[in-house]
Structure 1
Amino acid sequence: MTPQDLKDRLLRPLRRELATGAEDKVVAGGLEKLLENLGQPFPEVQAALRGYRQLTPSERVERLHQAIQLLDGTPRPSGSGENPQPSPSPRGLEAGNLNFDSPVEGLSLGPGAKKKLNELGIRSVRDLLHTYPRRYEDRRTLQSLREVEEGQKATVFGKVLSRELVKTPKRGIQLVQVRLMDAWGWKFTAVWFNQPWVLKQIAEGASLVISGRVQRRGANLSIMVEYFEDEAGESLSTGRIVPVYPAKEGVGQAFLRRAAWRGLEAFSQIPDPLEPYRQEGALAHVSGLPSLDFALRQAHFPSAEEALEQALYRLKFDEFLLLELKVMLQSGNSALLGRTFRVTPEMVERFRAALPFTLTEAQERVLNEVLSDMQGERQMARLVQGDVGSGKTAVAAAALYIAACNNAQGALMAPTEILAKQHFANLTHYLYPLGVSLDLLVGSMSAAEKRGVYDRLKAGQTHVVVGTHALIQEQVEFRDLGLAIIDEEHRFGVMQRRALLGSRPDLIVMSATPIPRSLALTLYGDLEVSQIDQLPPGRIPVKTKVLPHKLRSQAYAFAQGEIAKGRQVFVVTPMIEESEAEGMEELAAATKLRNELTTLLPEVRIDLLHGKMPAAEKDAVMERFKAGQFDLLVSTTVIEVGVDIPQATLMIIENAERFGLAQLHQLRGRVGRGGLEAYCILIAGESSKKTLHRLRVIEESNDGFYIAEKDLELRGPGELRGVRQSGMPDLRIGDLVSDQEIIERARAFAQAILEADPYLDAPQNALLKREIQARAEAIGFREVI
């Protein structure tokens, strides 16, 4: 054994002792016991640590630093007891050779490194440093196999003494057996089954970190290897909290750690886009945030759990900040000036007095938020979301009334004619008694009827117009559009929405699909978010029951009973709309279900609604259903949001597991709209424990926001309906379920930045602007305004 080998054997337990707080627990019998044997060739080290057990913790740390310096000649790191961090190198920024945009091959990682990193989507230093570990392993105190019980899993360190390939004569199994020695001098055998190529990857004298299950046979210790890595001479895989990166076959963890280390080494100080704000200390949004330099170094190579927690907080904050800035800049910036409306207590009281009911606390809270926006100088851009029946239309009516009191016009755009007509009827009920003139504009009106509406809008005789996309035709001219309301905006294209908002009116977006606030703040980053999270008193919750497929007949027996009472029933099946061929399959499946129900329920009048129908035909089916011309509607599409069928008391959903929870809740809201007791039956085509656990959420709760949170928690944002299509990115490190406080904080900071510098043109924001441009592909957004 060479002198360097002896030094290495002694250095490892000394470093672990330092990393674990100098408690003299790393070595069985104490550190001095180890020095009696391994320390004999190094009398100066023995002298430095003599009487170690009797020293105070601070004295032990001091002596350990002395001993380690005597053995390897490295200077004492700053911050006693911490793992070393990547240090400044001659390749730093000062040398002018590397920056965040530099290609990774500039890091001199050896042959084949560029190809390996490119396979993981890593091309620049920025990509490398923002490829965060997916988890961490605490290897500060890698145990000796002597401490591990039979059958337990362990991660251990050892130096290779010998290796061989053994073939068993009976079964023909090939065993790679590697003999190793750990830092305490104990020997053990690592075993690989039927992996002969491993032999070529392991050299005698190599230092390995091995994970696997331990076997004891008398005094002989073995570990059945599940995972191993060659430490390759750098102390990045032991004696510390070790990062484990997302990787592919052929790209090892040791290589990725070395790459990250080199990337961090390249900078004496990583440039921080938020440094101007951190220095000023004027903005509370960044108070207490660590520097980006600290965050990236600690995220890759943490010195302690607390430091890692701080680092990840900062990197999550940055991710959400860039996302919010991107959305706000893309939408034209919510800091744009709009119009200022005069709002008086008398106006609001007059509106309240005209209502046939009292607003709920939630409606009052959201109305106050809307009226506050209308009085401000900035253009209002607010999302009002709430369950079906929570009273969004009443809040919209109040805002339209205030606009009319200011001699401005209002427009409400809905995705379908039937929904537009329903909104028109409700708004007329609320506003006509207050002297507000209203008009309806939909595609099915005659040319003469449309011309009349155009003329009244242009002359300012109409205060409020309700319509479909007919509102954005060239012929439509407003005298003074001050407030635009878009219902279910995801049903309209970006250009359709912008056509209505060309004159920059105040904007309210309404949605009956509750989504978690954290998701709303990112998906609708350019909108303030209001939630009507309370239903009016007297609303009877829909009773919900999950049935396995084998009890499906019970659902239709119950449906027959409801129809016998003069009630109506929805039956919904999952929608297929990926291709033309699948669309035809959908039609065939829907037709088959209708025929099956016609046989099962011969006295029941049944009709069909499917995805291949033109919009006008869908509207006509819903109008006939509303008029009671048939009893049961089989539908393959999500039934139009907000359409009231007062006599509908039962919703049956086939293969309910194929829908998201929020979607199921929204479908359930179609029934019980007329004050009658209502029911929803979820038929599970697949009834695994996981499926039934998810569907029980709907069975047990009628709170749309709680259900949306559970949906997000159980399925993740990428699986929620409409999220993937909207451009919401896969977050690298942020978590929409648990990071709401960070999202709120990052969003407020983004707004503060853009209020002072709407286009990030100020010199202090140059780095921030560059970061948004460089990471644009990873930052998704949904354009609303």
Structure 2
Amino acid sequence: MISLQDSVTDLTGIGPKSAENLVSLNILTIEDLLTYYPLRYDNFEVQSVDNAKDQEKMTIKGTVMSEPVIARFGYKRNRLSFRVLVNKEVVGVTFFNQPYLKSKIELGNDVAIFGKWDGQRRQMTGSKLVNVGDDDSKSFSPVYSVNKHVRQTTLRKDIETAFKKYQEVIATLLPHTLIEHYHLMERREMIKEMHFPSSDENAKLARRTAAYEEFFLFQLRLQATKRANQKRNGLEILYHNDEIKDFIKSLPYELTGAQKRVVNDICRDLRQPIQMNRLLQGDVGSGKTIVAAIAIYATITAGYQAALMVPTELLAEQHAQNLAKLFDNLPVNVGLLTGTLTQKQHNALAKQIKAGAINLIIGTHALIQDSVEYANLGLIITDEQHRFGVGQRQKLREKGNHPDVLAMTATPIPRTLAITAYGEMDVSIIDELPKGRLPIITRWLRSNQVGVGLDFVKEQLSKGTQVYIVTPLIEESEALDVKNATELYEQLQSYFSPQFKVGLLHGRLANDEKDDVMQQFKQNEIQVLVSTTVIEVGVDVANATVMMIYDADRFGLAQLHQLRGRVGRGKQQSYCILIADPKNEVGTARMQTMTETNDGFVVAQKDMELRGSGDVLGQKQSGVPDFKVGDPVGDLKMLEVAQHDAASLLQTPNWDTVDDNMPLVAYLKRNQLQTHFD
């Protein structure tokens, strides 16, 4: 019996070599081949130039009015030019590097040309002649993403062969209630219209159906994984509620409504006998650390250890100092575990961790070393968790017996990413800044206005505040015309001295040198800190009120927002000054976005729109999955609807016994996912 899971070698004309070529496109099975959808369609229907848009791809038909002429320039480069009469208008046509077409163009004959229309010059750059009887003379011709191993014509022929042989076994995966509700196509018809569209309208409907199906199946897998994980036995962390309440009352400020809501989410998870897998996201300065501290203290009151893993030693040391102060006079013993400890120091600390004498362990990836064993690990917190690989996070989880996991990020995650890359996690959001915080005022200056910016900085310094000045590079680069930290440091020393002291911080400094510079800045012995992006995450100096960023167009929006978040952490008005001469529209849009909003989620979504849905957070495993048809940024609403529909289906009692859902049950089994979630 034939099946869509058959190998492509079951098709006539596909031998071992052809199959190997198809593997380069990730096509192994018949289903892979049939769902390898076109990027776009070339429309070979003859259109009028009267309403044509500039740079639009289209087909025109007219009478050849001049002999075709070939002009040669450069090695194997040439231009074929002629004119055609189209609806009483003479249109110039040019083909590049296709001299063989000259024999097909005869004076006085009618010709149809597909190409790109230049609306200003009223002429066309042709890409092919469209002749009756040509394979591509159909109204819509699919265009696929191919490579040097697979040609367009070969792929089209293989897909056509596969559809003819397997069309009768193409089962509709989506429940018919959803197909009817959203007016979608059955799967067989969708695949047919995707590859061999009968009209523009049907092609669009097929693409909408394919995008929804893709989002729905992705969300179904994600939600099924989440439910399967929740069935695993977790720890019941029965914390002492009265002690938690007393600890919260002892804080020098009241929690915001958002913080209280998130604390309740986490505490509820801790008490349940299933493993918590929660993502805590909040904008810079929203107060995630105190929420983490409450979760840590709750865990410790129940007799468990807590581990906090952070990406940099600077941040680990800062957390250790701050939390040690916060837990002063409480039964919390803090240990700082980093890669710079001597072997003797490391061994002594590891011994105390194993014995349970230290119940809060803070550190970098040193926490997951084989030599570190935990007595009773109950809670794992990763800060700026996207900076750790999947393997590193998993290794820390394996240090305990299904410990609860809280991942924190101050990099606001756009809705698209939250639904895709983090869809298997429960999400809590702190969407409210602490009382008394003033919004940061952001200004964009061109490089010829730097003097204005520096005058403003000096004015702020005279009020007793401090300033960060950030630059992309450490040393001079011939490749990039950007200010580097060392050169800028020397320039600013002469500008600000002797009234204000300037310090320099970058990643190539030794750890003790970094610590020394940061301590001087914290104690206001240094007023101006020239730095690379090493200060992007976690550095907290409330007296710093100005962040000045040179060559700001070299940074992504998310990074600019992170840098801006280093100021505005006190009661005083803070400012961010962007120095940039963007070379393109994307750079300009970044600067405008930064000046228009302080909302990190707005910034993150705009960043995604500008950069595309690829590697937004800087690591591949944190990016959006590769969808064949759906655009998770442009089709965000559809993605949200698919998420809701998939979750609703899985929450329906005995959903996997309903006949209409059997194709989905089989689909999940093929993907090795648990299907029974009563």
TM-score, reference length from structure 2: 0.78
**Structure 2 vs 1, CA of residues 197 and 586 (structure 1 numbering), >3 Å: closer, same or farther?**
closer
Equivalents in 2 of 1:772, 1:189: separation in Å?
A: 59
Deviation at 1:228, TM superposition (A): 3.5
Which of 197, 220, 229 is the matching residue for 2:100? 197
Structure 1 residue 596, shift from structure 2 partner: 2.0
Kindly provide the amino acid, as one letter, of the partner of residue 563 in structure 2: L
**Are residue 509 (structure 1) and residue 404 (structure 2) matched?**
no
1:541 to 432, 439, 448: 439
Is 1:226 paired with 2:126? yes
Equivalent residue of 1:718, what SS? coil
Q: Aligned residue for 1:134?
A: 39
Say yes or no: does 1:734 pair with 2:634: no
1:381 matched to 2:277: yes
**Which structure is larger by alpha-carbon Rg, 1 or 2?**
1
Contact 2:417/2:623 (CA < 8 Å) preserved in 1? no
Percent identity, please.
36
In the alignment, which residue of structure 1 is the partner of 2:616? 720
How big is the shift at 1:263?
3.8
1:664 aligns with 560
Question: For the structure 1 residues 725 and 209, does the alpha-carbon distance in structure 2 shift closer, same or farther, using more than 3 Å as the test?
Answer: same
> Which amino acid letter does the alignment assign opposite residue 590 of structure 2?
R
Q: CA deviation at 1:632?
A: 1.7
Is the 1:540–1:675 Cα contact (8 Å) retained in structure 2? yes
Counterpart position of 2:336: 441
Q: CA deviation at 1:428?
A: 4.5
For 1:531 and 1:555, the matched residues in 2 are separated by 35
Q: Tell me: CA distance 1:499–1:199, structure 2 relative to 1, closer, same or farther (3 Å).
A: same
**1:410 corresponds to 2:302:** no
Q: How does 1:153-172 map to 2 (within 5 A)?
A: 155=58, 165-167=67-69
The one of 176, 185, 189 equivalent to 1:294 is: 189
Sort the Cα spacing of 1:347 and 1:233 in 2 relative to 1 into closer, same or farther, 3 A. Answer: farther
Match of 2:493 in 1: 598
Checking the alignment, whether the CA contact within 8 Å between 2:279 and 2:406 is kept in structure 1 is yes
CA distance, structure 2, for counterparts of residue 583 and residue 214 of structure 1: 39
Note the C-alpha offset of 1:712.
0.9
Confirm or deny: 8 A CA contact 1:285 1:745 kept in the other structure.
Answer: no
Q: Of residues 150, 154, 167 in structure 2, which corresponds to 1:268?
A: 167
- The residue correspondences of 1:457-472 to structure 2 (distance < 5 A) are 457-472=353-368
Give the secondary structure class of the aligned counterpart of 2:229: coil
Cα drift, residue 635 of structure 1 = 1.4
Deviation larger for 677-686 or 408-417: 408-417
- Going from structure 1 to structure 2, the CA distance change for 1:554 and 1:128 (only over 3 Å counts) comes to same
Q: Distance in 2 between matches of 1:249 and 1:441?
A: 53
Task: Give, in angstroms, the shift of residue 660 of structure 1.
Answer: 0.9
**Aligned position for 2:580:** 684
Match of 2:606 in 1: 710
Q: Corresponding residue for 2:253?
A: 357
Task: Find the aligned partners of 1:455 and 1:583 in 2 and give their Cα distance.
Answer: 50
Q: How large is the RMSD of aligned CA atoms in angstroms?
A: 5.2
Tell me how far apart the structure 1 counterparts of residues 102 and 18 of structure 2 sit (CA, whole Å): 23
SS in structure 1 of the partner of residue 8 of structure 2: coil
> Would the aligned equivalents of 2:616 and 2:622 in 1 still touch at CA under 8 Å?
no
Paired letter, 1:226: G
1:266 maps to a residue whose letter is K
Counterpart CA distance in 1 for 2:451 and 2:250 is 48
Determine which of 201, 204, 211 is the counterpart of 1:316: 211
Query: What CA distance in whole angstroms lies between the structure 1 residues aligned with 2:591 and 2:461?
Result: 26
Q: Deviations over 1:285-315 (max 9, x none)?
A: 9998754323322323445666545533443
**Which residue number corresponds to residue 75 of structure 2?**
none
Aligned to 1:278: 175
Q: Distance in 2 between matches of 1:631 and 1:613?
A: 19
CA distance change for structure 1 residues 460 and 721 in 2, over 3 Å: closer, same or farther? closer
Q: Deviations over 1:574-631 (max 9, x none)?
A: 1489xxx979999993222222222333323222222323444433322232122322
Runs of 5+ consecutive residues of structure 1 not aligned to the other structure: 1-92, 216-221, 774-785
Deviation at residue 651 of structure 1 after TM alignment: 1.1
Q: Is the 8 A contact 1:576 1:586 kept in 2?
A: no
Which residue identity does 2:425 align to in structure 1? L
Q: Is 1:561 aligned to 2:561, yes or no?
A: no
| Contact 2:239 2:271 (C-alpha < 8 Å) held by counterparts | yes
- For residue 606 of structure 2, give the secondary structure of its aligned residue in structure 1: helix
Bigger shift: residues 453-462 or 295-304:
453-462
Deviation at 1:284, TM superposition (A): 12
CA contact (8 A) 1:175 1:196 kept: no
CA spacing shift, 1:152–1:508, aligned 2, 3 Å: closer
CA–CA separation in structure 2 for the residues paired with 1:728 and 1:373: 27
Tell me the distance in 1 between the aligned counterparts of 2:431 and 2:180: 28
**Aligned partners of 2:208, 2:571: CA distance in 1, in Å?**
48
**Separation of aligned partners in 2, 1:295 and 1:591:** 60
Is the alpha carbon distance of 1:173 and 1:120 closer, same or farther for their aligned partners in structure 2, counting shifts above 3 Å?
A: same
- What's the CA shift for 1:514? 0.9
Using the alignment, how far apart are the partners of 2:536 and 2:464 within structure 1?
A: 23
Distance in 2 between residues matched to 1:325 and 1:692, nearest whole Å? 39
What is the CA-CA distance between 1:538 and the residue it aligns to?
1.1
Number of aligned positions between the proteins: 650
Number of the residue aligned with 1:571: 469
Cα deviation for residue 476 of structure 1 reads: 3.8
**Aligned AA for 1:381?**
N
CA contact (8 A) 1:337 1:378 kept: yes
Letter in 2 for 1:269: E
Whole-angstrom distance in 2 between the partners of 1:231 and 1:120: 30
Match of 2:7 in 1: 101
Does the 8 Å CA contact 1:191/1:225 hold for their aligned counterparts? yes
